[in-house]
Structure 1
Amino acid sequence: MTGTPNAPLFILSFRQRDELASLAAGAGWQVVAARRAGGAERRFLSSGAAVAVIDARGAPADGVNAARTMSGAVEANGGALLALVSRGEAATIAALYGAGATHFLASPFSEAEFLQAVRFAARHAERMAREWAAGPVFAPLGWRYDLISRTLILTPGLAALLAIDDEPSVRAMLRRLDRGDRIAAVAALRRVSANRPATAFAHDSDLTTVGRVVQHLQLDAEGGRIDAVVEPLGSAPEPAAELRESLAGARDAGSARRWLTRRLADEAGAPLHAMLIALNRFDMVNTAYGRATGDALLSSAQKRIDDVVRDMLGRDALIVRLSGSTFLVAARSIRLRIDLVVERIAHALARPFVTGDSIAVLGCRIGLAEALPDDSAASLLRRVSEALADARESDTATMRVADAEQGDAPIDQLAVELNHALERGEIGVLYQPQVSVSTGAIVGVEALARWEHGVLGTIGAETLFAAAARADLEIGLSDHIQRVVLAQAAAWPVALAGLRLSLNLTAADIARPGFADLFLDRVDASGFPRTRLTLEITESGLIEDLGIASALLSVLRGAGCRIAIDDFGTGYSSLAYLKALPLDYLKIDKKLAQDITGSARDRIVVRGVIDMARSLGLTVIAEGVETQPQLEALAAEGCQIYQGFLCAEPISVEALEALVAR
């Protein structure tokens, strides 16, 4: 097993091979290390390792090329590829991901963090190995040919049926075919090109359990490879679908059932849950606005579901659109986190969708089921379908759970725990850097609340404040966060002394009588200068009386603080806020900022927001910037500051100091 001592580990590092090898060997791994990419794929295969580490720090192009060369071997053997990257190199991470990396670790990192990342990758490889073993050896049958290294990789199922233990060659595989079939195979390989990326050929097989087969070939020009799926004749899948599903997830109902079957066979870990999400009123919108608009709505809905699921359940979760306007989500996780995901999805889909010049309000109904010990994929899907039907028949319920009585909502459970969490000091703060677009320097940070929950792990600010609102603790939570942030910022080291601090105010804060005096006294008592403090109010904060808000913010601004409107572009009171409130900064919502690299229409919308803000004398900050193309497009439109994973995720004070120093 890859997670046990003395398991093999392959490391390719162009500059720090010996250091990484020594570190891994000291932790009990049998290390095979290389400094040059030449022959790395063969060395990885011969090592017997399930995990390959590619150190791309300082040599990003070499790292990407090595990952592209090795990924076929890693994937086909159900392994994991851990890439080490320099922090802030988002373009390198994207390229490595496209080349086949499954895990990432950004420097600087400690020895313990490196070893933990290797263990995580090993666990992933173990899961992949169990998935290969869970099904029949002929599912999937396929192969991959790397056009650059000219190496052929068979899936374990095909290798087992052909009784091939060593690395095969194309010539040897062709010799296994009759002369006529060999001519057909060569002709098919020659047909594959950029102009004709998919083709197929049939032949009599020496796979005695399969008989006559058809091979579906698919060219991946960017990856420099040909993927093939071997299917019994008469079953013609989408080219490379089966192989792609085994490596990257499901694409349709059939592959979703196969995904569930594999997960049900692997009983380790948290319970498996499945949910069906059906959009409300979609048929009416589709009829009223046409097929193109309906397709765009489905795409937008899936993006919202993706965002929630990836944020709360990670990339191991299944997300697939079934027929019509129904989506399937499945994952292994504890019930409380699944319930929180359901609430987040329902909230996300309740937000209006823009359809051309109109607004469409859809909403959804959700059925949920936890897998039982004797469940098959079919029975699990049947039970979750019944739960969805119950939800649709209900006048008020958004969600129904199969074979279960309704208990307290998950937010209610968190609300009960929140008081104790405050007392135990579980509510803390991280800081996300804000970077000057023109100079690349970190000029400020936004303080973001985090709850380190004993069962659920890290809970973000959105869920945290939803629980506080349910428990009527919004003011108490806000006071706690303000005290923690101001105390920490006042004690910042000299390296951080020039940074601005952005602190979020809630609608409950603004509605409190006497809040301005109370808050300014708190700031002065902490010792943090008012002139370096920016107060953020969210556009979706449901401020009912803009007159009261404007008066309060004017007092705070007159006392030296600066004011920012947060998440601009998510609500429908935007222009009223700009007219009524004394503002210094406008923060573009991350979804709007990320859309700038989308269509020309998306870019025009972002350009209009930036032009309007700058004409009002406001500094523009873009949130959620993750890629270099996004940053370049925002810079071209006049954005002045950005924050997002392109620079750093929310981090501790210690990590912030190290980042600023670099």
Structure 2
Amino acid sequence: MAAPGVKVHCAQARACEGWPGTARPSMTLVEVRQAEVISIPELFVVVPRYARDLRAQLDANAVTYELVVRADAAAATFARTKARVALIDLRGALATASIAAHEIGAQVAERRGAMLALVGRGEAGATAAALAAGATHVLASPFGAAELADALRLAARAVDRLDEALAGRVSMLPADARRDALTGLATADHALAWVATLLADGTESPAAVVMRIAVGRFGQINSAYGAIVADTLLQAVAERLVRHVAEDEIAEGGDAGARLVSRMGGAEFAVVMPGPVTLADAGRLASRIVAACEAPFAAGGRVVYLGVRVGIASGGAGDGADALFRRAAAALSRARAGAPGEIEINTDILDTDPLAHRAALEADLRRAIADGGLDVHFQPQVSLDTGKIAGVEALVRWTHPEFGALPVETLLDVAAASEYGTRLGVHIRARAIAEAAKWPAALADLKLAVNVTAGDLAAPDFNRDLDAALNESGFERSRLTLEITESDLIENLDAAGTTLAAAQASGIRIALDDFGTGYSSLSYLKSLPLDCLKLDKRLTRDLAGNARDRIIVRGIVDMARALGIRVTAEGVETETDLDRVKAALCDCYQGYLCAPALDSAALAAFTIDWNSRL
């Protein structure tokens, strides 16, 4: 009988090595065993709850193993063996199993082995807990014998790879030099040694991608709150990195543990992604990490906002590990010059000739605009009166054919430098309006907001281009909102006000985006015909700050309401955030608590499902 929550099957396995990113061809258990025998000299298994089912799956794969049911005796029994691969079943595990996982994980690290943890997919934090215990690989239920076999092969291969490096740098590191004492992550020396091994193999191109991550404001926090709070925050950052790196691996069809997370020193971390991997993969993971670290951290009874910046570089056969880490550090140095959340990718052309790199990106952007190579996604905006999704903001995305997903700041910088900013704005607004016009009838009342910069407003044909997009698509003017980016300086407020007033008179709504971040917020409130004000996420976070912060934000909301201007709070990511913006009497919210930006098809399905529940 199968364990609760586990569907035992073998005909269709998860995507794994040999079939990256695709469904694996159907194979019977007999065919799997004939195709590849799992070669593990000694496998140690701890399974407190589902021993019968796990035995059947292991026996089906002709695996030789020693199985222990009592978790409290597992670590001592493992110490008497020579096994370097351990399998621990943590599904529905009690405290004794978690303790055993930590103890065995430490022994596995000493033996340069691998530990595969089995977790329940619905158990919150199970993957992160397993990795924190020392698991090198994680497999979540439901899984069958074939999936278990794949996971064990990956674990065995990891041990083989470490053995191949015995003559290299990893073997020269004592156990205490491979693991950071504070966070439990790999040390910088261990990460360098592992990358050296990956580059020496040279079987993939690139053989490895290194991502260096710097935590913002850490020096200030250390000085203000002391070392204990600072150390607690570093541990929290490490745990969050491990969790999201593992979840990204699983989402990409792999198993958690193939990537290495390390602490480079101080408040800097690194993620090593072994090949096959692309800069696009790294860019997606970096964006996920940035979003994860924008959420607040709790330490010492305080709520702290950190934010990170990321530098990325790739290397192949013939490259040195030190040189690859230096290239990633150079990218990080450029990212540090930008705002929190900045992601910089170091490429060969950037290393040798920054001007040539910029020119190449400008040419690529022109082609992307001409060929439809830019994507438009939509982030929902939720009414606090009804709880329903009432509108969306259109956001541009550029997946570069070579560098992968580029930060929107890079796209806008390249457009501005090439004098293509106005052309880009016209293109994105037209694309967004055209897609919105094709939404299904169930979204007929959904409002659309598109971004407008100071440069757009200064263009003489702004309203004419906007009229053309609306007339061609048939999209209703009353459903459109123009969001002015408040962080841009509008040099001629009178002219901008005239342009926006003409749009407003035709039925289009006007919103001021990112309020509180720019040059002249009150002047904009006074001079521009506004229907809506969007609180920047930093002001939303201030609702969780001290009394002074809350009074300022409440004063802004009260002033807007007195002027007849609706208020939308950006950056709402938790239920606590939502409670605070409700208490501040905001009208709408936008943020990851509802959803990230989605493409049109995903948006339609998500919105219909969300609104149908209310």
TM class by shorter-chain length? 0.5 to 0.7
Contact 2:384 2:587 in 1 (8 A): yes
- Which of the pair has the greater relative contact order for Cα pairs under 8 Å at 6+ separation? 2
Distance 1:620 1:127 in 2: 51
Q: What's 1:322 paired with?
A: 265
Aligned to 1:39: 49
User: 1:40–1:384: structure 2 CA closer, same or farther, 3 Å change rule?
Assistant: same
Matched, 1:270 2:202: no
Asked if structure 2 preserves the Cα contact closer than 8 Å seen for 1:67 and 1:99, the reply is no
Q: How does 1:511-550 map to 2 (within 5 A)?
A: 511-550=458-497
1:564-591 CA deviation, whole Å, 9 max, x = no partner? 1112233343333223222122222234
Q: Deviations over 1:86-124 (max 9, x none)?
A: xxxxxx86x56655599999xxxxxxxx99xx99x9999
Query: Deviation of residue 415 (structure 1)?
Result: 1.5
Correspondence for 1:260:
192
- The structure 2 residue matched to 1:479, chosen from 418, 426, 432, is 426
Letter in 2 for 1:538: T
Q: How many pairs were matched up?
A: 479
Counterpart for residue 510 of structure 1: 457
Q: Structure 1 pair 44/104, CA: closer, same or farther in 2 (3 Å)?
A: closer
Indicate how the Cα distance of structure 1 residues 400 and 461 shifts in structure 2: closer, same or farther if over 3 A, else same.
closer
Query: Structure 1: how far apart are the matches of 2:550 and 2:325?
Result: 41
Do the aligned partners of residues 129 and 480 (structure 1) sit closer, same or farther apart at CA in structure 2, a change above 3 Å counting? farther
Classify 1:542/1:292 alpha carbon distance in 2 versus 1 (closer, same or farther; 3 Å): same
Structure 2 equivalent of residue 424 of structure 1: 371
Conservation of the 8 A alpha-carbon contact between 1:264 and 1:272: no
Gaps of 5+ in 1: 1-9, 32-36, 51-63, 86-91, 106-113, 140-156, 158-209, 211-229, 346-363, 393-397
How far did residue 443 of structure 1 move? 0.9
The structural deviation recorded for 1:496 is 0.4
Please point out which of 531, 534, 546 is paired with 1:584: 531
Task: Using the TM superposition, give the Cα deviation of residue 13 of structure 1 relative to its aligned residue in structure 2, in angstroms.
Answer: 6.6
What CA distance in whole angstroms lies between the structure 2 residues aligned with 1:297 and 1:551? 51
User: Does the CA contact (< 8 Å) of 1:276 and 1:385 recur in 2?
Assistant: yes
Change (3 A) 1:128 1:485: farther
Q: Give me the CA root mean square deviation.
A: 5.9
Residues 533 and 561, structure 1, Cα contact 8 Å, conserved in 2: yes
The one-character-per-residue Cα deviations of 1:180-206 (angstroms, maximum 9, x if unpaired) are: xxxxxxxxxxxxxxxxxxxxxxxxxxx
CA displacement 1:611-636 (0-9 Å, x = unmatched): 44334332222223332222223223
Deviation at 1:331, TM superposition (A): 4.4
How far apart in 2 are the matches of 1:651 and 1:340?
Answer: 15
User: Aligned to 1:28, which of 26, 30, 36?
Assistant: 26
Q: State the secondary structure of the residue aligned to 2:517.
A: coil
Q: Does 1:623 align with 2:566?
A: no
Task: Give deviations 1:481-504, integer Å, cap 9, x for gaps.
Answer: 222222222232210001111111
Verify: 1:453 aligned to 2:400, yes or no. Answer: yes
Letter in 2 for 1:322: G
Give the match for residue 501 of structure 1. Answer: 448
Measured in 1, the distance between the counterparts of 2:215 and 2:182 equals 30
Structure 1 residues 639 and 382: CA distance shift in structure 2, 3 A: closer
In structure 2, distance between residues paired with 1:657 and 1:542: 35
CA distance in 2, matches of 1:465, 1:552: 23
1:649 matches 2:596:
yes
CA contact (8 A) 1:523 1:529 kept: yes
The answer to whether the Cα contact below 8 Å between 1:78 and 1:132 also exists between their aligned partners in 2 is no
Alpha-carbon deviation of 1:522? 3.0
Deviation at 1:529, TM superposition (A): 1.2
Q: CA deviation at 1:641?
A: 1.5
Query: Of residues 382, 386, 389 in structure 2, which corresponds to 1:442?
Result: 389
Question: Are the structure 2 counterparts of residues 99 and 385 from structure 1 closer, same or farther at C-alpha, using a change threshold of 3 Å?
Answer: closer
Give the drift of 1:365: 13
User: Retained in 1: the 8 A contact 2:119–2:126?
Assistant: no
Deviation at 1:644, TM superposition (A): 2.3
In 1, Cα distance between equivalents of 2:352 and 2:209: 16
Deviation at 1:561, TM superposition (A): 1.0
Q: Distance in 2 between matches of 1:29 and 1:640?
A: 55
Q: Deviations over 1:520-542 (max 9, x none)?
A: 34323421111111111111233
Q: Please, which of 412, 418, 437 is the counterpart of residue 465 of structure 1?
A: 412
Structure 1 pair 487–237 and aligned structure 2 pair: CA distance change class (3 A): closer
Secondary structure of the 2:518 match is coil
What is the Cα deviation at residue 553 of structure 1?
1.4
Partner deviation per Cα, 1:382-418 (whole Å, 9 max, x = no partner): 78889999999xxxxx999999533446443221112
How far apart, CA to CA, are the structure 2 residues paired with 1:373 and 1:39?
A: 46
Q: Compute the displacement of 1:275 (Å).
A: 7.7
Change (3 A) 1:467 1:386: closer
| Structure 2 partner of 1:142 | none
Kept after mapping to 1: 8 A contact 2:311/2:335:
yes
How far did residue 336 of structure 1 move?
9.1
C-alpha contact (below 8 Å) 2:207/2:317 kept by paired residues: no
> Would you say the 8 A contact 2:382–2:588 is kept in 1?
yes
Which amino acid is 1:443 matched to? A
What is aligned with 2:520?
573
2:509 pairs with 546, 550, 562, which one?
Answer: 562
Instruction: Name the amino acid aligned to 1:561.
Output: I
2:499 corresponding residue in structure 1: 552
Give the counterpart letter for 1:257 in structure 2: D
Q: Which residue of 1 aligns with 2:224?
A: 292
Distance 1:650 1:633 in 2: 23
- Provide closer, same or farther for how the CA distance between residues 473 and 436 of structure 1 changes in structure 2, counting only shifts above 3 A: same
Counterpart CA distance in 1 for 2:370 and 2:594 is 33
> Is the alpha carbon distance of 1:321 and 1:573 closer, same or farther for their aligned partners in structure 2, counting shifts above 3 Å?
farther
Query: 1:318: how far off?
Result: 5.1
Contact 1:625 1:631 in 2 (8 A): yes
Hey, what's the Cα distance between the residues in 1 that align with 2:313 and 2:436?
A: 46
The amino acid that maps onto 2:265 is L
Tell me by how many angstroms 1:270 deviates: 2.7
> Structure 2 matches for 1:218-233, cutoff 5 A?
none
TM-score normalised over the length of structure 1: 0.56
The answer as to whether partners of 2:430 and 2:466 remain within 8 angstroms in 1 is: no
1:644 and 1:470, CA in 2 relative to 1: closer, same or farther beyond 3 A? same
Equivalence map 1:135-174=2 (5 Å) = 135=162
Instruction: Return the alpha-carbon distance in structure 1 between the equivalents of residues 368 and 2 of structure 2.
Output: 42
Residues 1:38 and 1:459: Cα distance change in structure 2 (over 3 Å): same
Cα 1:127/1:624, change in 2 over 3 Å? farther
Letter in 2 for 1:644: G
